[in-house]
């Protein structure tokens, strides 16, 4: 069974994904970490040296490779993965277990304010502009995120509660 987690950066895809994979006895794959390993470079380095367009092209290639493997796994995508190159269609064709981990702008701002230095899309922002940036980005990406087969509202929930909510909806 393939389970795909998507959502904005900081929504908990990796943390929840690892816990979910452990509870289901499935392997866990973080698409960003997989890309870093395969390309022998960090995501911020790829953005800085090659640009976002190159990154999105490689992200699509690696997503296709992972999905073509037809392996059982919990897959954590990057925050922008579903929004580019037909990736959302690929995910929906691969599994009916596509979960959007939804957090409010306030919740995301609290989580991301301490992580700005290693998040290439927000590292250049003054802290006081973070909430507006996230709100704008969420608005732009919502059309993709809302195509997920399931939406999990994560504000105020523990990782264990989110894992339980996902597990109850698996097809």
Check the annotation: does 117 bind a ligand: no
Question: Does pLDDT of 6 surpass 90?
Answer: yes
Closest CA to 102 of 7, 19, 3: 7
**Which pLDDT belongs to residue 114?**
87
What's the CA gap between 84 and 74, in Å, rounded?
21
pLDDT in tens, 130-166: 999 999 999 999 999 999 999 999 999 999 999 999 9
> Which tens digit of pLDDT belongs to each residue from 13-71?
999 999 999 999 999 999 999 999 999 999 889 988 999 899 999 999 999 999 999 88
To the question of whether residue 11 is assigned a binding role by annotation, the answer is yes
CB contact at 8 A, 44 and 120:
yes
3-state secondary structure 104-162: CHHHHHHHHCCCHHHCCCCCCCCHHHHHHHHHHHHHHHHHHHCCCCEEEECCCCCHHHH
Q: Return the CATH number of the domain spanning residue range 2-164.
A: 3.40.50.300
- pLDDT surpassing 90 at residue 94: yes
79 is in an annotated binding site: yes
Query: 10 labelled as ligand-binding?
Result: yes
Give the confidence band of 116 by pLDDT, cuts at 50, 70, 90: confident
* Residue-level length of the chain: 171
Rounded to an integer, what is the distance from CA 151 to the centroid of its chain? Answer: 13
**111 in a known ligand binding site:** no
Q: How much is the pLDDT for 16?
A: 98
Question: Six-digit token pair at 170?
Answer: 């698996």
107 assigned binding-site residue: no
CA distance 84 to 18: 25
147 is in an annotated binding site: no
| Residue 32 annotated as binding site | yes
Question: What number is the average pLDDT over the span 3-11?
Answer: 96
**pLDDT value at position 35?**
96
For residue 64, say whether it is annotated as part of any ligand binding site. no
Kindly tell me if the per-residue pLDDT of 91 is higher than 80. Answer: yes
**Residues 138, 140, 144, 149, CA torsion sign:** positive
Q: What phi, psi does 37 have (nearest 5°)?
A: -65, -45
Three-state secondary-structure class, residue 73: strand
- Residue 120 confidence (pLDDT) above 90: no
pLDDT of residue 105: 96
At 10, the pLDDT band (50, 70, 90 cuts) reads: very high
The pLDDT of residue 115 is above 90: no
Report whether pLDDT(100) > 80: yes
Residues 51-73: b if buried by 16+ CB within 10 A, e if exposed: eeeebbeebbebbeebbeeeeeb
């Amino acid at each position: 069974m393939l389970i795909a987690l998507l959502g904005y950066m900081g929504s908990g895809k990796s943390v929840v994904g690892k816990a979910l994979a452990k509870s289901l006895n499935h392997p866990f794959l973080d698409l960003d970490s997989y890309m870093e390993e395969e390309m022998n470079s960090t995501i911020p380095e790829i953005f800085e040296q090659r640009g976002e367009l190159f990154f999105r092209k490689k992200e699509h290639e690696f997503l296709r490779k992972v999905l073509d493997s037809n392996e059982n796994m919990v897959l954590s995508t990057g925050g922008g993965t579903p929004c580019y190159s037909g990736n959302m269609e690929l995910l929906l064709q691969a599994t009916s277990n596509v979960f959007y981990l939804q957090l409010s702008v306030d919740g995301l701002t609290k989580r991301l304010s301490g992580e700005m230095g290693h998040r290439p899309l927000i590292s250049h922002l003054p802290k006081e502009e973070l909430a507006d940036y996230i709100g704008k980005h969420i608005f732009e990406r919502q059309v993709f995120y809302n195509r997920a087969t399931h939406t999990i509202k994560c504000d105020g929930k523990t990782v264990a509660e989110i894992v339980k909510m996902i597990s109850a909806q698996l097809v």
